[in-house]
Amino acid sequence: FKHFISSTLSFNCGMLEEVLERSEVDPVVISALQRAGLTSAEDVLTYSVPELVGLTHLRTASVADLVCSLSLALCPAPNLAMAILSENEGSQLSWGDDEMDTILGRLRGRQLIDLSGESSAGKSQLCMQLCLSVQRKPIFGGLLGKAVYICTEAPFSQKRWNQLADCVGVRYPDLTNMDVGEGVLKTEVNTVPEFWDVVENLLPKVMESRGVRLVIIDSIAALFRTDFTQEDIPSRSSALFFVARELKKLADAFNAVIICINQVSDHVVEESILQRRVIPALGLSWSSCVNARFLVRRVTQRSAHSIQSPQDIIRQVALVTSSYSPSTQANFFVDNDGCHSIGEI
> CA-CA distance, 239 to 286, in Å (whole number)?
10
- Look at residue 14 in the predicted model and tell me its pLDDT: 41
User: Residue 261 in contact with residue 101, Cβ under 8 Å?
Assistant: no
Bigger pLDDT: 167 or 282? 167
With H, G, I as helix, E, B as strand and everything else as coil, classify residue 258. Answer: strand
Distance of CA 192 to the CA centre of its chain: 17
Tell me the average pLDDT across 21-45: 80
CB within 8 Å of 153: residues ≥ 6 apart: 218, 219, 222
Cis omega (within 30 of 0) for bond into 71: no
Residue at 143: amino acid letter: L
pLDDT tens, residue by residue, 154-168: 899 999 999 999 999
Nearest alpha-carbon partner for 34 in 23, 22, 21: 21
Binned at pLDDT 50, 70 and 90, residue 270 comes out as: low
- Look at residue 338 in the predicted model and tell me its pLDDT: 94
> CA-CA distance, 214 to 255, in Å (whole number)?
9
Binned at pLDDT 50, 70 and 90, residue 341 comes out as: very high
Binned at pLDDT 50, 70 and 90, residue 10 comes out as: very low
Q: What is the mean pLDDT of the chain?
A: 85
Binned at pLDDT 50, 70 and 90, residue 291 comes out as: very high
With H, G, I as helix, E, B as strand and everything else as coil, classify residue 261. Answer: strand
Strands 107-108 and 111-117, by their bridges, are unpaired
pLDDT tens, residue by residue, 51-64: 999 999 999 998 89
- By CB atoms closer than 10 A (0-12, 13-18, 19+), residue 86 is exposed
> CA-CA distance, 297 to 53, in Å (whole number)?
64
Tell me the average pLDDT across 81-96: 76
With H, G, I as helix, E, B as strand and everything else as coil, classify residue 185. Answer: strand
- Look at residue 67 in the predicted model and tell me its pLDDT: 86
- Look at residue 334 in the predicted model and tell me its pLDDT: 94
> CA-CA distance, 172 to 129, in Å (whole number)?
11
pLDDT tens, residue by residue, 203-222: 999 999 999 999 999 989 88
User: Residue 244 in contact with residue 290, Cβ under 8 Å?
Assistant: yes
Tell me the average pLDDT across 65-94: 77
E-assigned strand segments in 13-142? 92-93, 107-108, 111-117
With H, G, I as helix, E, B as strand and everything else as coil, classify residue 184. Answer: strand
> CA-CA distance, 203 to 207, in Å (whole number)?
6
CB within 8 Å of 64: residues ≥ 6 apart: 49
Most confident of 83-97, 186-200, 288-302, 309-323: 186-200
Q: What are phi and psi of 342, to 5 degrees?
A: -125, 10
pLDDT tens, residue by residue, 309-320: 777 889 999 999
Strands 328-335 and 338-341, by their bridges, are antiparallel
